[in-house]
Structure 1
Amino acid sequence: MVNLIGKRTLQLLAGGALMLFASVASAQYVWVDANGTKQFSDRPPPPGVPAKNIIKAPPAAAVTPKSDDAPAPSSKPMSADDKVPPSLADREADYRKRAKAKEDEQKKAGEDATRKAGNKVACETARSYKRTLEQGMRVSSTDKNGERTFIDDKQRTAETARANKAISDTCK
């Protein structure tokens, strides 16, 4: 009978110890951030949160703050120069800004590639036309009546100058 009472007492003590440690492990902090939103965490609030905005803190944490969680509060009040970690909304806005910049950069790169490809085709066309003009081949055109005519030497010189200008503009 004595052995049964001792076991029961030991079980109750062990259960009580577990409950004590469980209550310490579930320590919660509640505070109101700069935007007026309630924040819940198992870590202490950032150093920039005034003491009046801390709604709930575990009793042990108020006595001995951990040195690795947050720096010890300084005796001087926070100034505008002190850095406060960005809020989730600020980080989200920064992410969207970076994503938009990356999208714009990719769009611009695509447009540049399309423009370069078009310039390459125009350059090759202009060079081919210039070769045709310089080789003395007969070059024909269609007049407003739809009849085929051939260019003379004066027109050939003008077309060669136009081809040279197209080459200088598109072949870079």
Structure 2
Amino acid sequence: MVNLIGKRTLQLLAGGALMLFASVSYAQYVWVDANGTKQFSDRPPPPGIPAKNILKQPGGTAARDAAPAPSESAPVAAGADDKTPPSLADREADYRKRAKAKEEADKKASAANAAKANSKAACEGARAYKRSLEQGTRITTTDKNGERSVMEDAQRAAEIARANKTIAEACK
């Protein structure tokens, strides 16, 4: 029976020691990094993290007992520290800017393609009209009063000249 009590005491002592070591290993640091993300670690934060960004450290204190970072002691103009990564808002603004520029470029390309297609269609139409005029087929026209008449040679020559001008402009 004595042996049984000794084992039980040894087990309780071992359990208590483990609980003590567990509380020591629970030492955690919590801080907010330059990107605004909460970081959890069992190691201290990097030296560039200001004391105001350290949320928790072992011993229950909320701030580091080190000298303040240079960025805290003297105000720094915005954009002067090129080593800090851009904030989430800055990255979002850059993304929106790039997306808008891409959308505008796509619109310009679409407009240019549409203009090119219209020019090509006008060119083909003018060439087909010129061919029909040059073939000498009988072409009827309608005047303002709605009366039909056959196109005369002078009118035909004027229409051919107009078709040539359209072809010169549209078919570059």
Answer yes or no: same fold by TM over 0.5: yes
How many residues end up aligned between the 2 structures? 154
Contact preservation (8 Å) 1:139, 1:150: yes
**Pair member with larger Rg:** 2
Which range moves more in the overlay, 10-19 or 117-126?
Answer: 10-19
Contact preservation (8 Å) 1:29, 1:41: yes
Query: In the TM superposition, what whole-angstrom CA distance separates every residue of 1:44-84 from its partner, at most 9, and x where no partner exists?
Result: 4794x6x46445463699589xxxxxxxx78xx76764303
TM-score (norm 2): 0.70
In structure 2, which of residues 8, 14, 17 is the aligned counterpart of residue 10 of structure 1?
14
Q: CA RMSD in A?
A: 3.5
Contact preservation (8 Å) 2:140, 2:148: yes
Contact preservation (8 Å) 2:126, 2:167: yes
Give the equivalent residue in structure 2 for 1:82. Answer: 81
> Which runs of 5 or more residues in structure 2 are unaligned?
none
Distance in 1 between the 2:161 and 2:113 partners? 28
SS at match of 1:145: coil
Give the equivalent residue in structure 2 for 1:21. Answer: 25
With over 3 angstroms needed to count, the CA separation of the structure-2 counterparts of 1:46 and 1:158, relative to structure 1, is farther
Give the equivalent residue in structure 2 for 1:69. Answer: none
Distance in 1 between the 2:91 and 2:133 partners? 62
Asked whether 1:42 is paired with 2:30, we answer no
TM-score (norm 1): 0.70
> Which runs of 5 or more residues in structure 1 are unaligned?
34-38, 65-72
Percent of residue pairs identical: 43
Give the equivalent residue in structure 1 for 2:102. Answer: 102
